[in-house]
Amino acid sequence: PNLINQIAAGEVIERPASVVKELLENSVDAGATRIEVSITGGGTEMIRISDNGCGMTADQLPLALASHATSKLPTDEALFHVRTLGFRGEALASIGSVSQLTIRSRTEGETAGNEIQVRGGVIDPPQPCGCPVGTVMEVRNLFFNTPVRHRFLKTAQTEKGHIVEAFTRIALANSQVHFVLNNNDKPLYDLPVTERWSDRIAAFFGGEIADSLIPINSDDSQIHVQGYVCDPSVSRGNSRMQYLFLNGRHIRDRSLQHALGEAYRGLLMVGRHPVSFLRMSMPPELIDVNVHPTKLEVRFTDGGRVYSRLLQTLRHHFLTTDM
């Protein structure tokens, strides 16, 4: 069974940043209002994520580590109405199969918590331990038992860069949560809860981007678009600064990037990409997120409608804003 989990891990866990992404999504799903990430060695030595979410009982801990065990899908029907970030029940089993994973967790009603350890897929029984309400996930020595994957890890600096990007996406998508990121015991980010999304964007990008945010807002009966586009003068040579979120999760979508380019047509020099931060929401029935295990890509049941909604919103905006 560990081999199967290792194979699944190959799909879901590419590098330390994939661990951070999966664990952060779990903490958000657990309803945490404060999440702290600490990494050493670019996450290859250690990744620790502490949250104040709902926690797990001693009975739930081994289940969380079993593959295809998810507490997030009560029925098959629910797969069509996915709202939480995780729903496959693969991440923890995968991470536990290729690392040394310790989970400490406590639910609200309990006076003490429980700890469980997995080492290369071998699970020890849970033991009582003292800990606050919530969950601490500690991942050490990622890929210690899969030498080929281990060899493909880049320098600590590069892996840290990928972690910062994963952290940024999730912290941007969830400004209702206080996020902290520490690198080698030094604080990198400390982002208190904020009502205004622009505060969170400014905390990451500051300066000229924060100064040139132009608010965007549009609603039709089902598709809502809200966020900011930036003045053409802060455009970039690639599309990395086009942050797009759909129902609370970061996505990349070629056709929506194309819509952005179209909206700026004539305002931007060739080869430049507008900077933008857009949150879209629509009923889950209009989306299929079940395309790839890392869930970065989505499929819309009516892609044309989403495309034109975004394009219309932006065009309308450029006509009414003096840039």
Nearest residue (CB) to ligand ADP, 71 versus 145: 71
- Contact (CB, 8 A) for 45 and 208: no
Binding site partner of 82, from Mg ion, ligand ADP, none, Cβ cut-off 5-8 A by kind: none
Q: What is the per-residue binding string for Mg ion in 85-124, x denoting contact by CB under 5 A?
A: -x----x---------------------------------
Residues at the contact surface with ligand ADP, assessed by CB under 6 A: 22, 26-27, 30, 51, 53-56, 64, 69-72, 86-92, 135
Give how many residues touch Mg ion by CB under 5 A.
3
- Contact (CB, 8 A) for 234 and 241: no
Nearest residue (CB) to Mg ion, 23 versus 244: 23
Site for Mg ion in 16-45 (CB under 5 A): 26
Which candidate, 214, 20, 52, places its Cα nearest to that of 133? 52
Phi and psi for 89 in degrees, rounded to 5? 65, 35
Question: Closest distance between ligand ADP and the C-beta of residue 206, in Å?
Answer: 30
Nearest residue (CB) to Mg ion, 86 versus 227: 86
Binding site partner of 72, from ligand ADP, Mg ion, none, Cβ cut-off 5-8 A by kind: ligand ADP
Binding site partner of 115, from Mg ion, ligand ADP, none, Cβ cut-off 5-8 A by kind: none
Question: Closest distance between Mg ion and the C-beta of residue 198, in Å?
Answer: 29
Q: Is 110 exposed, middle or buried (0-12, 13-18, 19+ CB in 10 A)?
A: middle
Q: Looking at the chain, how many residues does it have?
A: 323
The CB density around residue 82, as the number of other CB atoms within 10 Å, is 20
Residues with Cβ within 8 Å of residue 72, at least 6 apart in sequence: 29, 84, 86, 87, 89
Which candidate, 67, 138, 149, 155, places its Cα nearest to that of 103? 138
Kind of pairing, strands 299-300 and 287-288?
Answer: antiparallel
Question: Closest distance between ligand ADP and the C-beta of residue 42, in Å?
Answer: 22
Q: Match 């992404």 to its residue by tokens.
A: 21
- Rounded CA-CA distance 194/215 in Å is 17
Binding site partner of 71, from ligand ADP, Mg ion, none, Cβ cut-off 5-8 A by kind: ligand ADP
Q: Please report how the helices 197-205 and 156-173 are oriented relative to each other, as an axis angle in degrees rounded to 10.
A: 160
Nearest residue (CB) to ligand ADP, 55 versus 113: 55
Question: Closest distance between ligand ADP and the C-beta of residue 99, in Å?
Answer: 13
Q: Match 């994963």 to its residue by tokens.
A: 166
Nearest residue (CB) to ligand ADP, 71 versus 218: 71
Question: Closest distance between Mg ion and the C-beta of residue 108, in Å?
Answer: 21
Which candidate, 8, 29, 12, 9, places its Cα nearest to that of 170? 29
Nearest residue (CB) to ligand ADP, 105 versus 235: 105
Which candidate, 25, 50, 27, places its Cα nearest to that of 295? 25
Binding site partner of 70, from ligand ADP, Mg ion, none, Cβ cut-off 5-8 A by kind: ligand ADP
Question: Closest distance between Mg ion and the C-beta of residue 102, in Å?
Answer: 17
Nearest residue (CB) to ligand ADP, 30 versus 225: 30
Binding site partner of 227, from Mg ion, ligand ADP, none, Cβ cut-off 5-8 A by kind: none
